[in-house]
Structure 1
Amino acid sequence: MQSRYFDVYRAWENNPEEFWRDAADAIDWFKQPEKIFDQSQGVYGRWFVGGETNTCYNCLDRHVAAGRGEQRAFIYDSVMNGAKKSFTYAEVLTEVKAIAAVLRDLGIGKGDRVVIYMPMVPEAVFSMLACARLGAVHSVVFGGFAAQELAARLNDSEAKLIISASCGLEPGRVVAYKPLLEKAIELAMAKPDHCLILQRPELNAAINPERGEFDFTELVDKARGREIECVPVKATDPLYILYTSGTTGQPKGVVRDNGGHMVALQWSMPNIFGMAPGEVFWTASDIGWVVGHSYIVYAPLLNGNTSIIFEGKPVGTPDAGTFWRVAAEYDVKVLFTAPTAFRAIRRDDPEGEFVENYDLLGLRALFLAGERADSETLRWAEEKLKVPVIDHWWQTETGWPIAANTVGLGLMPFKHGSPTRPMPGYAVDVLDDAGKPVPPHTLGNIAIRLPLPPGCLVSFWNADARFRESCLDEFPGYYKTADAGVIDDDGYVFVMARTDDIINCAGHRLSTGSMEEVCAKHPDVAECAVIGVKDRVKGQIPCGFLVLKNHVSRETSEIAAEVAGMVRDEIGPVAAFKTVMVVPKLPKTRSGKILRGTMQKIADDMPWTMPATIEDPATLDVVRETLWKNGFAHEDKTVAAPVK
């Protein structure tokens, strides 16, 4: 069957406002928008101007009012402590109203900021929805995030309240949150009025009411049963701030509005992901990331799906079959996670033996995003799961996919290495450094023509000028994605690397992503990273890092030489790919992104800070030691990040 994608994309191209007007009919409005798009407002224009709505109402109230209150909204599954619980839409609505009542009693109202600093527990998600119900602006910060980083976010958002927990659970350890929280408040110039602490059974935290600290559960229990109506907000009012690490050390607060955010996410669920109301959708991520905001919380609820809140890891909790157990137990129809999760599973279970232990006949598709999905990992997942494996591409800034293969509109032919074609709303071009479009198959800067579609960021929090400078000024008329790649003759987008990862080797622009693609083909390689390091003669040369599959017993020098030869054969001697190192693990963020930029700074003896989002700081120590043994990274230039 031919995909309907082309007709739908053409309909958007021919009349963008009419397209999004129709899409907006899928959500409930208290007041219909006066203008679908107003170019005179905001930094590049605003969507659904004059409309009034409420995100919590669309996620919960309307489904309960329509008689679907007894359908499951969330399934909580913690492999860390064995807890399992389901919540219907009606039950979630009751809990959200109670939390909203507590927040209101503590002085939280429309436009106030609330920081949520919690692990992957249902109360964290309910607190997000409670903020939305009141028109308050939430900002989720990973539970266990460094105190210095939390302080920077408190300063920037000027949050009036923090909702936290006594601890988080990591494999083999309990992470106490209260000391980190206290240190952050001590460091912060802007101090919250109150803190709510969810006590977890694994660790009790001291709570001091005289300092504005209260037991979350006690207050919510007392408020349960109170009626708290949804506060109407403008479509253009902010729903949340999500901070990403900025290159200056100052966090960037990505601002998402209410109206455009709902319309885009609602459209994406049936059309991109092929989800029907009532089906189970599982995003194996964390609400600290945009993926968790969009596809654990808001999109599934808007579409009337059941979403899974999962506390655990893809491997080691207890084994590489955890994902398959969850998918089988809850009849997951679509699974969405990061490529790094599948690389870890493939490393621990290269033959896919755990897959055979579970009934996955209900699974229709696997979506991957967050980092380039190498062809070898894609093929492995296709072979083991026997479902379409869809690499799709988007960013914290966009909030939903820029490019994807559309399950709901009918799949297009697959091309490994490509997230397929742009979604309606996104006109994607590849530009040279002067901002001119380049021919097909030419490597350049990937940019999106303005205006950005509904659901994308409207600006940075209180920093319009910084948003223009960072994202809009370099290529006038475009949003700069900071990704590099090519578009082929069929309009397929190939995202090769961040623009910072394009290296200039003896005058040749080379993509580290294309070299990683070759490295990953070696049968002993589980995952890899390639960075550019300074070279006196060539300017930069590539340097490869390999993580081998478990139980590989061959000499690492032999494997490294083979990989170097493969790159030389496939890309050519111009790549000058000779330096290959084997490490036990790659340094990554908690979402699975490899910290290539930090690795490059270490190799080049540049000052660097320990990234706030790093999963395991020891991995960078190993990288530095390995570089030192190979003649790089002569000095330790670690610097402390400032609190701003």
Structure 2
Amino acid sequence: MRTRQKQENAMGKFEEVYKRSLEDPEGFWGEAADQLVWDRKWDRVLDDSQAPLYRWFPGGRLNTCYNALDCHVESGNGSRLALIYDSPVTGALRHYSYQDLRDEVARLAGALKARGVEAGDRVIIYMPMVPEAVMAMLACARLGAVHSVVFGGFASNELAKRINDSQPRLILSASCGIEGGRAVPYKPLLDKALEAASHKPQGCLILQRPEERCELTAGRDEDWQEALSGATAADCVPVEATDPLYILYTSGTTGQPKGIVRDNGGHAVALKWSMKHVYNIDPGEVYWTASDIGWVVGHSYIVYAPLLQGATTVLYEGKPVGTPDAGAFWRVIAQHGVVTLFTAPTAFRAIRQQDPQGAKIAEHDLSSFRALFLAGERCDPDTLLWAQDKLKVPVIDHWWQTETGWPIVANCLGIEQLPVKPGSPTRPVPGWDLRILDGEGNEVPRGTIGSIVGRLPMPPGTFPTLWNAQERFVKTYLSSFPGYYQTGDAGYMDKDGYIFVMGRTDDIINVAGHRLSTGAIEEALANHPDVAECAVIGVHDDLKGQLPVGFLVLNAGCARPVEDIEKEAVQYVRDGIGPVAAFKTALVVQRLPKTRSGKILRGTMRHIADGESYNTPATIDDPAILDEICEALEEAGYAGRRA
């Protein structure tokens, strides 16, 4: 029997809410869990008997899909808009009510069930940004199956690794994706991956897109629409709160991908809580995360969190620029009445590079728009201030990771908007007790850079383990600083408790014994009026240990001599950081190498500069960019060796 307690707006000042989350975590998260529909209530909120391995809501049973779709329909909100699919690359625009989406998902779940998919089975989803991909995730959740989304178009060898590790019963895919205005066939990549993989799934469902259809492999592949045409809608299957909802693979340093596991109970509790308290989104409001479902941001804030909250989510198949121009985001906000946008800083740097004065903003009615959230990589103050100036709304930098599933540090607009400090994502979110430690595990003074760690237990919604790799989980994340989660990021806490994330711990460079943040040097470079985007790496130096080298991407239309800008950039660092940075090399390039989520591949650039062998990352947006980086480094006298 399903029970649901009346939702309360437990609003309060930030200090009060934060303090309670640390002093009474079981009471705090128990109240948050009461906002969901449970088939069976938990035995206890937190199981700490296996510390440092913690589990939230053991004994509880629920279904994530039911809480995301069915409960809204059953409470009389079936006609409310759930999903807007906006695809400038194909011209498609579709709207789905909660009733529509629930019915489509139930039918797809029925098709999967008819093909043997049961609770606990894994299903790989290798698809573009189309509604069917969202439906596939929810259909797996409906059956209690574990989905693993792999970027459509991801390299075959990387897909094969994920097939072998997760051992899916089925693979759901599509004939193609759209990248750069052209169709990218997925089927040849899928075929090659299945040929290389030692594990063979039972079969594949293939969505035929009109932009480019594909040949189906007899005996293995089925047409998506044909499979659904005879399907019977499937009911929700309750699962344990501690059962896995999904596996999301992230690249590991060993070459073996790490399968981040997300559980059902803690995940649903944390995401629903965050929609109101972090993003200040109410049911029925239009919320847009401009990301990809292949990333954790897409899992959490395109698919699950908005639907758990009863909001309207936007699924956008396009880019911030080029589909058709730097006004693409403003068109979507105006057309659909978006109240809050969440995207990556790199998207805004791309927009700014193409439209430095923000002229495109004035072409659209943004009266509905009230907040911009940025995450995915460190947001330099210059980008934040530009967005704040042009949009005239709060611009909220916040910080989290694939592992955590939702924010670690943020300005919680739904509790109390705190003063913005450019360069800081503000303060730890309720549930997170952050400390800054030195290499020996001692807390460092305020303002001193060290390793950012979170005191255990981590709050609900974070990852309880790695898929089939618990020993690796403990060694990678819990061993360096016993009693703490090692984030792998470096930074400091100021006197007001604000966190400044300066980069990964390996982005802290040592110049003649001085520990310097590449992020701080990037801040100085970003102040140059002609610089749209920049990245700094530390390269080997026999005398000083390491020296910083900067890469600059200039604003569109900049016609000034490159040599002048490079000299000025060096002076900007000297003025902003001081001679201690020993910054002497700034190189103008056309583009920076990035992952498809917009993260700059600083580690790969560093390997190139030091003449070390490297593998082209599977997540890279365009491998050809590395050749330009090599050439720029070679001209500057660095190794620049190609893999």
TM-score range, shorter chain: over 0.9
For residues 304-328 of structure 1, the C-alpha deviation after alignment (integer angstroms, 9 at most, x for no partner) is 0000010000001100000000000
For residues 339-389 of structure 1, the C-alpha deviation after alignment (integer angstroms, 9 at most, x for no partner) is 000000000000000000000011010000001111111111011110000
- 1:411 paired with 2:420, answer no
- 1:114 paired with 2:113, answer no
1:299 counterpart residue number: 305
User: What are the equivalent positions in structure 2 for 1:138-537 lying under 5 Å apart?
Assistant: 138-210=147-219, 212-223=220-231, 226-537=232-543
Query: Structure 2 CA distance, aligned partners of 1:462 and 1:513?
Result: 35
Q: What is the Cα-based RMSD across aligned positions, in Å?
A: 1.0
- 1:80 paired with 2:89, answer yes
Q: Which secondary structure state, in structure 2, belongs to the residue aligned with residue 533 of structure 1? A: strand
Q: How far off is 1:42 after superposition? A: 7.3
Q: How far off is 1:575 after superposition? A: 0.7
Q: How far off is 1:64 after superposition? A: 0.4
Query: Structure 1 CA distance, aligned partners of 2:631 and 2:473?
Result: 37
1:580 counterpart residue number: 586
- TM-score scaled to structure 1, two decimals? 0.97
Instruction: Return closer, same or farther for 1:218/1:596 CA change in 2, 3 Å cut-off.
Output: same
Q: Which secondary structure state, in structure 1, belongs to the residue aligned with residue 249 of structure 2? A: strand
User: What are the equivalent positions in structure 2 for 1:97-112 lying under 5 Å apart?
Assistant: 97-112=106-121
Q: Which secondary structure state, in structure 2, belongs to the residue aligned with residue 39 of structure 1? A: strand
Q: How far off is 1:491 after superposition? A: 0.3
What runs of 5+ residues in structure 2 fail to find an aligned partner?
1-10
What runs of 5+ residues in structure 1 fail to find an aligned partner?
639-644
- More displaced stretch, 284-293 vs 566-575: 566-575
Query: Which amino acid in 2 is paired with 1:587?
Result: P
Query: Which amino acid in 1 is paired with 2:228?
Result: V
Query: Structure 1 CA distance, aligned partners of 2:35 and 2:190?
Result: 40
2:6 counterpart residue number: none
For residues 281-313 of structure 1, the C-alpha deviation after alignment (integer angstroms, 9 at most, x for no partner) is 000000000000000000000000000010000
How many residue pairs get aligned? The number is 633
Is the CA contact (8 Å cut-off) linking 2:52 and 2:457 kept in structure 1?
A: no
2:3 counterpart residue number: none
For residues 10-33 of structure 1, the C-alpha deviation after alignment (integer angstroms, 9 at most, x for no partner) is 111221110011010011100000
- 1:561 paired with 2:567, answer yes
2:79 counterpart residue number: 70
Query: Structure 1 CA distance, aligned partners of 2:139 and 2:485?
Result: 32
Q: How far off is 1:3 after superposition? A: 7.2
Q: How far off is 1:407 after superposition? A: 1.1
Query: Structure 1 CA distance, aligned partners of 2:161 and 2:534?
Result: 32
Q: Which secondary structure state, in structure 1, belongs to the residue aligned with residue 573 of structure 2? A: helix
1:22 counterpart residue number: 31
Query: Which amino acid in 2 is paired with 1:187?
Result: A
Query: Which amino acid in 2 is paired with 1:623?
Result: I
Query: Structure 1 CA distance, aligned partners of 2:641 and 2:141?
Result: 48
Q: How far off is 1:547 after superposition? A: 0.2
Is the CA contact (8 Å cut-off) linking 1:43 and 1:464 kept in structure 2?
A: no
Q: Which secondary structure state, in structure 2, belongs to the residue aligned with residue 45 of structure 1? A: strand
Query: Structure 2 CA distance, aligned partners of 1:585 and 1:635?
Result: 18
Q: How far off is 1:41 after superposition? A: 4.2
Query: Structure 2 CA distance, aligned partners of 1:480 and 1:524?
Result: 37
Q: How far off is 1:634 after superposition? A: 5.0
Query: Structure 2 CA distance, aligned partners of 1:15 and 1:562?
Result: 53
Is the CA contact (8 Å cut-off) linking 2:113 and 2:234 kept in structure 1?
A: no
Runs of 4+ in 1 over 3 A off after TM superposition: none
Is the CA contact (8 Å cut-off) linking 1:44 and 1:450 kept in structure 2?
A: no
Is the CA contact (8 Å cut-off) linking 2:52 and 2:478 kept in structure 1?
A: no
Query: Which amino acid in 2 is paired with 1:604?
Result: D
Is the CA contact (8 Å cut-off) linking 2:285 and 2:311 kept in structure 1?
A: yes
Q: How far off is 1:631 after superposition? A: 1.0
2:8 counterpart residue number: none
Is the CA contact (8 Å cut-off) linking 2:451 and 2:505 kept in structure 1?
A: yes
Query: Which amino acid in 2 is paired with 1:191?
Result: K
For residues 182-210 of structure 1, the C-alpha deviation after alignment (integer angstroms, 9 at most, x for no partner) is 00001111111100100000111111332
Query: Structure 1 CA distance, aligned partners of 2:163 and 2:106?
Result: 25
- TM-score scaled to structure 2, two decimals? 0.98
Is the CA contact (8 Å cut-off) linking 2:80 and 2:284 kept in structure 1?
A: yes
Q: Which secondary structure state, in structure 1, belongs to the residue aligned with residue 230 of structure 2? A: helix
- 1:49 paired with 2:58, answer yes
1:641 counterpart residue number: none
Q: How far off is 1:567 after superposition? A: 0.7
Q: How far off is 1:632 after superposition? A: 1.1
- 1:622 paired with 2:631, answer no
